[in-house]
Amino acid sequence: MLIAANWKMYNGPAATAEFCLGLREQELDGVDVVVCPPFVSLAVAVQLLAGTEIAVAAQNVHWEDEGAFTGEISAPMLLELGVYGAIVGHSERRQHFGETDESVARRAHRALEAGLFVIACVGETEQERERGETEDVLRRQVSVLEADDNLVVAYEPVWAIGTGKTATPEIAQEAHAFVKTLLDVPVLYGGSVKPDNADELLAQQDVDGALVGGASLDLESFTSICRAAPRS
């Protein structure tokens, strides 16, 4: 069971240091934990979580190793920093920054090739779900990915991200089971995961963990979600 904290554009180095020092003290045996800070906070997270089982991942990665790509970060740069993996294709990247299935595929492929662990995000909008297009959207988004031992998919219904809405455990289970018919990889649930709904979501047969957004910014909240995960 994998629980990943996506901090989005929160927590600079000072806040990251405080969180990581607190996280080191928690008993989280039996669950894989990943923290995904902003780029400016990766180094301090790597430093303070060294010697623990807690991994550090970036929120994005480029498909080229170097070049004239202002504002981007490459896989070799992340590896040099000691970063373990990266998120690709988060719905906020797709919505606000023009990310496409093709660019997500290129980012994922290069990161995996370089030896990074990848969390690739997929999910439908509220309009797509209302039109009955959920499976078509998931099929299209997943089709550009290739199975890899270091790849996991995160199903994040766009209508449940930052909205306070959450997919019911039944909706999550149905979507996860469908994704697994397309690609044989673990599937995380992302979309307003909180301590009060984590138990039921994580208990679903095909839910292999969670990609946690806002609820991961508070140490007590995040560790509560980690402890809700069934132990392997």
pLDDT at 232: 62
Say if residues 155 and 172 touch (Cβ distance below 8 Å).
Answer: yes
Cα 176 to Cα 169: distance, rounded to the nearest angstrom: 10
Q: Which two tokens stand for residue 160?
A: 């449940």
The predicted-structure confidence for 133-145, as pLDDT tens digits, reads as follows 999 999 999 999 9
pLDDT at 97: 96
Report CA-CA distances (Å) from 54 to 29, 72, 75, 216. Answer: 10, 25, 20, 14
Say if residues 211 and 119 touch (Cβ distance below 8 Å).
Answer: yes
Say if residues 196 and 224 touch (Cβ distance below 8 Å).
Answer: no
DSSP 40: G
pLDDT at 64: 98
Say if residues 156 and 121 touch (Cβ distance below 8 Å).
Answer: yes
pLDDT at 203: 96
Active site amino acids:
90, 156
Place of tokens 């970060």: 73
pLDDT at 191: 86
pLDDT at 167: 85
Closest CA to 77 of 42, 121, 120: 42
| CATH number of this structure's domain 2-228 | 3.20.20.70
pLDDT at 161: 77
Cα 232 to Cα 132: distance, rounded to the nearest angstrom: 35
pTM: 0.96
Q: Dihedral (C-alpha) 103, 84, 229, 6: value to the nearest 10 degrees?
A: -50
Cα 229 to Cα 203: distance, rounded to the nearest angstrom: 8
pLDDT at 231: 79
pLDDT at 159: 86
**What single-letter amino acid sits at 130?**
E
Using alpha carbons only, what angle is made at residue 202 by residues 180 and 179, rounded to the nearest 5 degrees?
15
Cα 108 to Cα 89: distance, rounded to the nearest angstrom: 9
The predicted-structure confidence for 72-110, as pLDDT tens digits, reads as follows 999 999 999 999 999 999 999 999 999 999 999 999 999
* Cβ neighbours, 10 Å, residue 174: 16
Give every residue of the chain whose pLDDT is below 70, as ranges. 232
